[in-house]
């Protein structure tokens, strides 16, 4: 079930926090339900992915310890658990008023994940977009769960931020284990291409976040209801985090997003400082 990867579902709080409504009782409850729902559905997909990749996982230095590859979990029980988790995950949005949009986001997440697992995992570039889409749908799911309007800059930052993290991980994998690893798609990439793609996505993220942070309209972070100085200072934390992740990817030390959040002290400090500045700007 990869419980440690549930930390990625923290993206569902970004839209409510940025809108300044996260601590409204109804929004908080809806967001919590959406997080639990995404966690259960994601675990359902992880089980199917591990079933599909069981043979290649057994040849991998770390993935061989996954429950199915290691023989601790039978394929039959894994399929049953996947179905149960999916049903539970899709039942929770019914507790939210007008849950149609959240159901649509969950359905799209399942469809694109299944497409990735069974058909497109080895298709260069497309697989990057599909993995990044999983992050984007989480962030957008947090908005639709409480019917929060999100700005264009929010969508740009989340989309390319997710792509940036995925490219950074691939770049690090290529440096660390090479194209002959169990991830077949690495054979389709060169380090030069990944470096260029990483720079491109980082540029869009920083530009988009700056425009969002300095936007004084009602959809911008620096609107008249917020304190502009701490929000604009948060740009520094975003830039530093991007540079740190790029340095790690270039050195071959890049990690999955959940590992960065759970284990990397520098990233943790930058996230706390960024969140603190936003909190002061939006809620103080």
List the chain domain ranges: 1-149, 151-284
> Given a cut of 70, is residue 172 above it in pLDDT?
yes
The confidence score (pLDDT) of residue 123 equals 95
| pTM check: above 0.85 | yes
C-alpha to C-alpha distance for 214 and 221, rounded to whole angstroms = 7
**7 or 178, which is more confident?**
7
Which residue matches tokens 């530009």? 207
- Phi and psi torsions of 83, nearest 5°: -65, -45
Statement: 1-149 belongs to CATH 1.10.357.140? yes
Residue 129: how many CA atoms within 13 Å on its side-chain side?
Answer: 7
C-alpha to C-alpha distance for 77 and 29, rounded to whole angstroms = 32
pLDDT grade for 236, boundaries at 50, 70 and 90: very high
pLDDT grade for 264, boundaries at 50, 70 and 90: confident
User: Once rounded to an integer, what is the mean pLDDT over residues 188-195?
Assistant: 93
User: DSSP assignment, residue 126?
Assistant: H
> Given a cut of 80, is residue 224 above it in pLDDT?
no
User: Once rounded to an integer, what is the mean pLDDT over residues 7-31?
Assistant: 93
User: Highest mean pLDDT: which of 77-86, 147-156, 173-182?
Assistant: 77-86
- Phi and psi torsions of 224, nearest 5°: -65, -15
The confidence score (pLDDT) of residue 180 equals 60
């Amino acid at each position: 079930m990869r419980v440690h990867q549930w930390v990625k579902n923290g993206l569902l709080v970004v839209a409510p926090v940025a809108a300044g409504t996260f601590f409204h009782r109804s929004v908080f409850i809806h967001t919590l339900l959406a997080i639990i729902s995404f966690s259960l559905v994601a675990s359902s997909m992880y089980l199917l992915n591990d079933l599909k990749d069981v043979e290649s996982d057994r040849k991998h230095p770390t993935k061989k310890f996954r429950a199915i590859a290691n023989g601790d979990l039978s394929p039959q029980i894994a399929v049953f658990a996947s179905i149960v988790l999916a049903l539970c995950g899709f039942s929770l949005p019914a507790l939210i008023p007008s849950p149609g949009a959240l159901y649509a986001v969950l359905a799209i997440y399942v469809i694109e994940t299944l497409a990735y697992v069974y058909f497109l995992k080895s298709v260069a570039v497309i697989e990057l977009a599909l993995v990044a889409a999983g992050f984007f749908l989480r962030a957008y799911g947090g908005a639709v769960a409480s019917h929060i309007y999100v700005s264009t800059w929010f969508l740009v930052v989340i989309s390319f931020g997710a792509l940036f993290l995925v490219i950074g991980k691939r770049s690090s994998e290529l440096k660390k284990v090479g194209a002959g690893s169990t991830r077949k798609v690495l054979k389709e990439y060169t380090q030069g291409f990944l470096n260029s793609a990483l720079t491109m996505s980082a540029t869009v993220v920083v530009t988009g976040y700056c425009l969002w942070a300095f936007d004084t309209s009602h959809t911008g972070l620096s609107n008249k209801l917020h304190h502009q100085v701490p929000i604009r200072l948060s740009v520094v934390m975003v830039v530093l985090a991007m540079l740190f992740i790029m340095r790690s990817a270039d050195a071959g030390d890049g990690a999955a997003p959940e590992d960065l959040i759970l284990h990397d002290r520098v990233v943790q400090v930058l996230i706390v400082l960024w969140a603190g500045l936003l909190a002061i700007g939006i809620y103080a």
